[in-house]
Amino acid sequence: MAGPLSRGRRYVVLLLLLSGFGAILFRLVTLQVLQAAELTVKADRQHQKTVSLEGARGTIVDRRGKMLAMNMEVPSVFGVPTALDSPAKTARYLSPLLHVRTDELERKLRQDRGFVWLARKLDPDQGRRLEHMSMDGIGVVMEGRRFYPKGPLLSHVLGFAGMDGEGLEGVERRYESHLHGEKRVIVLQRDALGRTVFPKGLTEQSPAPGHSLALTIDEVIQYVTEKELEDAVTRTHAKSGTMIVLDPQTGALLALAISPRFDPNAVSALGPDRWRNRALTDAYEPGSTMKAIMAAAAIEERVMRPNTMVFGENGRMTIANTVIHDHEKLGWISFAQVIQKSSNIGAAKTGMALGDQRLYRYLQAFGFGQRTDIDLPGEAGGLVKNPRDWGRRSVASISMGQEIGVTPIQMVSAIAAIANGGVLMKPYVVSEIRDAHGRVLKQMLPQVKRRIVSPETARNVTAILEGVVTDGTGGKAAISGFRVAGKTGTAQKIDPRTGAYSASQFVSSFVGYVPADNPRLAMIVVIDEPDGEAWGGTVAAPVFNRVGQQVLNYLGVSSNEPVKLAMVSKRP
């Protein structure tokens, strides 16, 4: 029979057991009920891994199918800081391989995290050095990287994609919604050892690739244009240069070149000033090239005819207490000669005969002061003030290309309208959007914006502009065997320090089309701040000549030169 002490021990043990069961029960209730949601999330984190997959970015080709932008599989290096014994030693080893500073790598590797990117989308040669690397806590995965096989060629049109594959400039940005691949998130399971268990049929779950683009640009024409522009900028020690080649009958761009160029494969060290598309963003005073537009307005409104006589005031005329000069003393000349000799006084008189309202209406009709709506990002509208804000000299100034800001794409589109019989077309650079199988999803067709002048007016202006090349300031733009129509421009730039026109800084330009009787090419050349002689006819016109000659030959456009037959004499 148990004594009182034995019975007390049983009670103590029983009490301890009940307390233990109570504690276990309380813990179970806490885990199963009170903390169920939180623990479920933690369990999922331990046993599941969410991965975001994205289909390959669509390619970009030129009008003949030449590859301009594509994708490459390149290595990316990551680290698992919690699995490293010596972050400092690992950082010192990886630094020369990844081209990343040691201190930066060590800072990442000392984080209390299970995953950190160390270097993403490395160059292929770096990838080859990492192929046989085997380090605990360091891994290599393959990622898609945008690659531009032609390097700097067409860089300002193509733009570039960022580290995450998103288009940041140019066509890459404008058509981002079409180019990027389908995004899909999948959940991968992990086993007890933390190894990923790939679900069956994962390959079938691969997201669809993005759509591909075909451009209106021709790689050969682009190469010729860039080379000749680059040579001109280098030769004249100019600040920059721009050249556009388009089809005046459709508005399709065949080439768009900016100098200096950049390599879209290596933009990390460059700033926006280098990759800015100056053909769309930079407005400039066009100078005498505006006289071609003013001439079209004057002839259409019957203010002038090609043979109308205009007095040149012997090279000097006072308007609104300011003096307008010509580069030569001219007396009575025809209106055609006003344009061919680029008379400022003749242009001012013509503008005043038109009047502010009609002049403003034609500026708008030709597209100045508004975007052309070309399918590229960043386009500026230029600067055309409302007549109510014009001064006493504004009509005269605008008629000779001052007090107005235009972009190269606006000016070449306007001259192309004259080449196209008076019809303004919308410029465009993408011709087709295709799916991954090459099927055409959308085809961009030429778009007429409006008729500006009559075909007769366009023919009269063309004849005048031909005279600029044969007998006027644009002689160096002449192309043997072809009729060329065009206009030179030499505009003084505003000195930001004084607010007045600079005596040493100019914009030299030439705009025109060829063949004049059946235009295939409309082109503009703009050279910013050439060193030394800055006349548009001396600096820009020769570039027009060299590009036009090569492109016409490449396109197989027939020359007007008669075929010369060699006489063969018979030997006795």
Contact (CB, 8 A) for 478 and 435? no
DSSP-based three-state secondary structure for 212: strand
Contact (CB, 8 A) for 379 and 409? yes
Among 278, 189, 187, residue whose Cα is nearest residue 238: 278
Contacts of 305 (CB under 8 A, 6+ apart): 299, 335, 460
Q: For 219-260+276-555, which CATH class?
A: alpha beta
CA distance 195 to 192: 7
Among 143, 142, 141, 149, residue whose Cα is nearest residue 70: 149
- The 3-state secondary structure of 9-52, one letter per residue: HHHHHHHHHHHHHHHHHHHHHHHHHHCHHHHHHHHHHHHEEEEE
Contact (CB, 8 A) for 444 and 425? no
Phi, psi dihedral angles at 506 (to 5 degrees): -135, 160
Contact (CB, 8 A) for 421 and 448? no
Q: Would you state the structure tokens that stand for residue 342, as one six-digit string?
A: 């680029």
pLDDT of residue 193: 47
DSSP-based three-state secondary structure for 184: strand
Contacts of 245 (CB under 8 A, 6+ apart): 221, 225, 253, 254, 255, 256, 521, 522, 523, 547, 551
pLDDT of residue 35: 63
pLDDT of residue 204: 47
Strand 67-79 relative to strand 60-61, pairing: antiparallel
DSSP notation for 388-404: GG--TTHHHHHHTT-S-
Angle of helix 87-98 versus helix 102-109 axis, rounded to 10:
130
**Structural element, H or E, at residue 138:** strand 138-147
Task: Answer whether the bond into residue 260 is a cis peptide, omega within 30°.
Answer: yes
Q: Would you state the structure tokens that stand for residue 172, as one six-digit string?
A: 């890459």
CA-based R_g, the chain, Å:
35
pLDDT of residue 3: 58
pLDDT of residue 390: 96
For every one of its 572 residues, what pLDDT tens digit does the chain have, with 9 covering 90 and above? 555 556 677 776 677 777 767 667 766 666 566 666 665 555 555 545 555 556 789 999 999 999 999 987 777 787 877 777 788 888 887 888 777 888 888 788 888 766 777 877 777 666 666 666 667 777 777 666 889 999 999 999 999 998 777 899 999 999 999 998 876 655 545 445 444 444 544 444 567 889 999 999 999 999 999 999 999 999 999 999 999 999 999 999 999 999 999 999 988 778 888 889 999 999 999 999 999 999 999 999 999 999 999 999 999 999 999 999 998 999 999 999 999 999 999 999 999 999 999 999 999 999 999 999 999 999 999 999 999 999 999 999 999 999 999 999 999 999 999 999 999 999 999 999 999 888 999 999 999 999 999 999 999 999 999 999 999 999 999 999 999 999 999 999 988 888 888 888 999 999 999 999 999 999 999 999 999 889 999 999 999 999 999 999 999 998 876 544 444 434 43
Structural domain boundaries of the chain? Answer: 51-215, 219-260+276-555
Q: Would you state the structure tokens that stand for residue 236, as one six-digit string?
A: 């004249």
Cα separation values, 93 from 99, 133, 139, 238, Å: 11, 11, 14, 46
Task: Answer whether the bond into residue 87 is a cis peptide, omega within 30°.
Answer: no
Single-letter amino acid, residue 54: E
Q: For 51-215, which CATH class?
A: alpha beta
